[in-house]
Chains A and B, each alone.
Chain A
Amino acid sequence: QVQLQESGPGLVKPSETLSLTCTVSGGSVSSGSYYWSWIRQPPGKGLEWIGYIYYSGSTNYNPSLKSRVTISVDTSKNQFSLKLSSVTAADTAVYYCARVSYDYHGHYYFDYWGQGTLVTVSS
């Protein structure tokens, strides 16, 4: 059973960089069959896709966040990470990591999710 677990500071100051790590167990980030993604959800609001990474290191980001986002992968630790720079209160959200699967029809979907971690941006 694949499990994902987010970790990182729960409080970040405005203008600083938010850093989170997702540890994967029961599966490998080195698998060429999946992408690994970050998604966030402001309190009481909907879901926003942030970006994803492939084991090779190739990435794709939400255009609205692209200038501030970096996603990286550490295959030796079976982890992938998120960095979001120049944060403001609008970046306060529950951050989820998730696995992206796809089928032979080319349908992509988020099939496994971490439990989520709340990050608050405040001085």
Chain B
Amino acid sequence: EIVMTQSPATLSVSPGERATLSCRASQSVSSNLAWYQQKPGQAPRLLIYGASTRATGIPARFSGSGSGTEFTLTISSLQSEDFAVYYCQQYNNWPPLFTFGPGTKVDIK
């Protein structure tokens, strides 16, 4: 079973600053990784898939990178609407099995 970890658990950032979130897999998942944003009381929203491809309608300030076991989500200049919890999610094997990371909460500094 592949275990996902995310760091930090909480990231305090000022509006306009850059935020860098990390996700690590216990074994290689190639580029089979997605990122989601979740705000209180809402369903998660897809941001990135294939480690680096932005989903439809996602602003360019969100970018993903990495492959293998180390991945990063970068928000270049935090807007007020970006304060939320961010989850990474991997899939592996065929048929695919999915695992989510524990999440990183981005809050206002």
Q: Which of A76-123 contact B (CB under 8 A)?
A: 96, 98, 103, 105-111, 113-116
Contact B32 A110 (CB under 8 A): no
Contact A110 B44 (CB under 8 A): yes
Q: Least Cβ distance of A87 to chain B in Å?
A: 21
Residue A74 lies at the interface, judged by CB distance under 8 Å to chain B: no
- Scoring A98, A106, A108, A113 by chain B CB atoms within 10 A of each residue's CB, the highest score goes to A108
Q: Provide the residues of chain B in CB contact with A16, threshold 8 Å.
A: none
Q: Least Cβ distance of A34 to chain B in Å?
A: 13
Mark A42-76 against chain B: 1 for CB-CB distance below 8 A, else 0: 00001111000000001010110000000000000
Bound together, the chains give a CA A78 to CA B45 distance in angstroms of: 23
Contact B97 A62 (CB under 8 A): yes
Contact B1 A110 (CB under 8 A): no
Residue B59 lies at the interface, judged by CB distance under 8 Å to chain A: no
Residue B66 lies at the interface, judged by CB distance under 8 Å to chain A: no
Contact A110 B46 (CB under 8 A): yes
Q: Provide the residues of chain B in CB contact with A107, threshold 8 Å.
A: 31-32, 34, 49-50, 53
Q: Least Cβ distance of B88 to chain A in Å?
A: 10
Q: Provide the residues of chain A in CB contact with B49, threshold 8 Å.
A: 103, 107-109
Q: Which residue of B lies closest to A110 (CB)?
A: B46
Residue B91 lies at the interface, judged by CB distance under 8 Å to chain A: yes
CB within 8 Å of A: which residues of B? 1, 31-32, 34, 36, 42-46, 49-50, 53, 55, 87, 89, 91, 95-103
CB within 8 Å of B: which residues of A? 37, 46-49, 58, 60, 62-63, 96, 98, 103, 105-111, 113-116
Task: List 5 interface pairs A-B (beta carbons < 8 Å), by A numbering.
Answer: A108-B32, A109-B46, A109-B49, A110-B36, A110-B89
